[in-house]
Amino acid sequence: MKIMAKFVKDGKWWVAWTDDVPGALTQGETLEEARENLIDAVRMMQEPIDYDSLPISDLVMQEIEV
């Protein structure tokens, strides 16, 4: 899968995101670190969540208004 990544320097951090996978946003101290973190973020967002494997005592679900 190829995505168009965007990077911007913000102080000492490189912020990285892609509009191709909404919500994939990360940062790194170097451009390379930000690129690798974005790859990880996109891969993680594509993985299904197995809610049954989560400890039920730690699961909080709420409807919130934004």
Judge whether 30 lies within some domain: yes
Confidence (pTM): 0.75
Span 10-63, pLDDT tens digits: 999 999 999 999 999 999 999 999 999 999 999 999 989 887 887 777 778 899
Q: Which domain holds residue 15?
A: 5-48
- Report the distance separating Cα 5 and Cα 64, nearest Å: 30
Alpha carbons 65 and 62: distance in angstroms, whole number? 10
Left if phi > 0, otherwise alpha if psi is -120 to 50, otherwise beta: which for 17?
Answer: beta
The verdict on residue 13 lying in a domain is yes
Question: How much is the pLDDT for 64?
Answer: 87
Strands (E), the chain: 5-10, 13-18, 25-28
Q: Report how many domains make up the chain.
A: 1
